[in-house]
Structure 1
Amino acid sequence: MRGVTTEYSGTGDPARSLALLWRTRERVSRKGRPDLSVDRIVRAAIEVADTEGLAALSMRRVAERLGVGTMSLYTYVPGKGELLDVMLDTVYGEAARPTDVPGGWRGRLTQIARETRALYLRHPWLLQVATTRPPLGPNVIARYEYELGAVDGIGLTDLEMDAVVTLISGFVHGAVRGAVEAAQAAERTGMTEEQWWQAHAPYLEKAMDPRRFPLAARVGAAAGEEYQAAGDPARAFEFGLDRILDGIEVLIRDRPAGGAPPAAG
């Protein structure tokens, strides 16, 4: 990924982050610029991360994009840590949350997974932000509420509902990485996956000796012919998601009559 780095949410001052996330106070001094606001700064920061990568994100770079002095930003946003929290909460608010998804709980979880995947593809830098300490903004909490609603009342305990939501989120995070890396590889090299494999086919045929690697040669040839690439991230995503949903279905189906066991405590 472009300019690979890892950032961590929740590193800013908690009181200031929460004030920004919930807009309980937009700090503007007499020296504040009338053409600036928290929302405008956050939008510019997201644009920097989208187009240049997370490694390029800094208060200075955001100020340059806005055409203002760096110190002007600190009137509205205390620092990069708080800014990153609001960026995360803002993009999480982009995800659609329809209430009339067909297909029961499977359809609802499928919609959530696909919508989350699309969000990562629009904002690949999200893959580089560790959110074990998530920003507790309105969009993050609304997202969690919506995701829990997808599995509410289907026979799971509260802890199992949380575990299912976490499982789907973790799967999407891992599965989408391949799609992002493939897109960025094509962008950097100027070659599509198909072009790359065609150029390397003669060397791969020599390396993949069927006498030494019979399974790898056979399965690899079938996959390569089908995908015209090392793999198909979109197809792998759908296959993996279906298998996870199958497992959840077994958990619900095999539950003793009477529904979910009582919650602990």
Structure 2
Amino acid sequence: MPRKATRPGDPTALLALLWASDQPPGRGATSVPAITDAALAIADESGLDAVTMRSVADRLGVGAMTLYGYVPGRAELVELMVDRLAARTYAGQRAPADVGDWREAARHIARRTYEHALAHPWSVDVTPARPVLGPGVLVKYDQELAALDGIGLSDVAMDRLLSSITNLAAGAARWQIGMQRTRAASGLTDEQWWERMGPALAEAMGDLRVPVADRVGSAAANAGDPTGSLTFALEALLDGVAQQLPR
């Protein structure tokens, strides 16, 4: 299981780093954006654990100590990666406010959140609590809120709706990525795994009877259905919100 990324110890210093845009490049055109892009490439190729100051320096062709003149450490580098990734959520895509009514915009936000996480699986390993807001995160937040602005919700309700949408999508992506990692680690398909586990589970259950769980479990996909669950939950959420809007 990939390790969780920790938050940096000095958030105010990180804030200055996230918003600095005029730092001149150093040796070999080294710069904060170049370091961040190199780290993103490593994470996409090999996962978050593969991102170290040494691996990034090697990719850039400089000494590891050179990087510390630009980025204090790995924790800060991960924050830079998260912000850069957020800025790319709608790159080459329509902005949420441009896709139709608020419900279609909500679906677009959920879809992009889900697809973006699957394209960058390491991102689900970053602790979401108390983020330090950089330009990428804030612009993404503003783009998404703009699609919900003016539909009849209060500002607090807009924020809660958006958080609910993105949390549903991120949870589904985390579930899907977890299944992919488990399948790869075991070398078994879901069907092969259940062929092995089914008889053992039946023996372990003995005389225990769980008729509803048995019926529903047989009808549902064995490993679950992240996208189906996301669609169901999202539509239920949007139906509930629609009931609160002015007629």
Q: Do they fold alike, i.e. is TM over 0.5? A: yes
Question: Tell me, what secondary structure is at the counterpart of 1:4?
Answer: coil
Q: Is the 8 A contact 1:208 1:217 kept in 2?
A: no
Which residue among 21, 44, 47 is the counterpart of 1:53? 47
Q: What are the superposed Cα offsets for residues 55-87 of structure 1, whole Å, 9 maximum, x if unpaired?
A: 343212322333321111123223223322211
Alignment of 1:6-45 (within 5 A): 6-8=5-7, 11-15=9-13, 17-26=14-23, 32-45=26-39
In 1, Cα distance between equivalents of 2:199 and 2:134? 53
Unaligned runs of 5+ in 1: 258-265
2:77 corresponds to 1:86: no
Q: Work out the percentage of aligned pairs sharing the same amino acid.
A: 42
In 2, Cα distance between equivalents of 1:210 and 1:41? 60
Q: Is the 8 A contact 1:12 1:80 kept in 2?
A: no
Unaligned runs of 5+ in 2: none
Question: Tell me, what secondary structure is at the counterpart of 1:46?
Answer: helix
Amino acid at match of 1:141: L
Q: What are the superposed Cα offsets for residues 174-225 of structure 1, whole Å, 9 maximum, x if unpaired?
A: 22221010011112122222332234343345556797121122111122xx
Q: Is the 8 A contact 1:210 1:218 kept in 2?
A: no
Q: Is the 8 A contact 1:210 1:217 kept in 2?
A: no
- Most deviating of 48-57 and 77-86: 48-57
TM superposition score normalised by structure 2? 0.86
Question: Tell me, what secondary structure is at the counterpart of 2:27?
Answer: coil
Provide the residue aligned with 1:65 in structure 2: 59
Which residue among 214, 217, 223 is the counterpart of 1:217? 214
Amino acid at match of 2:81: M
TM superposition score normalised by structure 1? 0.81
Provide the residue aligned with 1:260 in structure 2: none
RMSD over aligned Cα, in angstroms?
2.4
Q: Aligned residue pairs: how many?
A: 243
Provide the residue aligned with 2:232 in structure 1: 239
Q: Normalized per residue, which structure has more helix?
A: 2
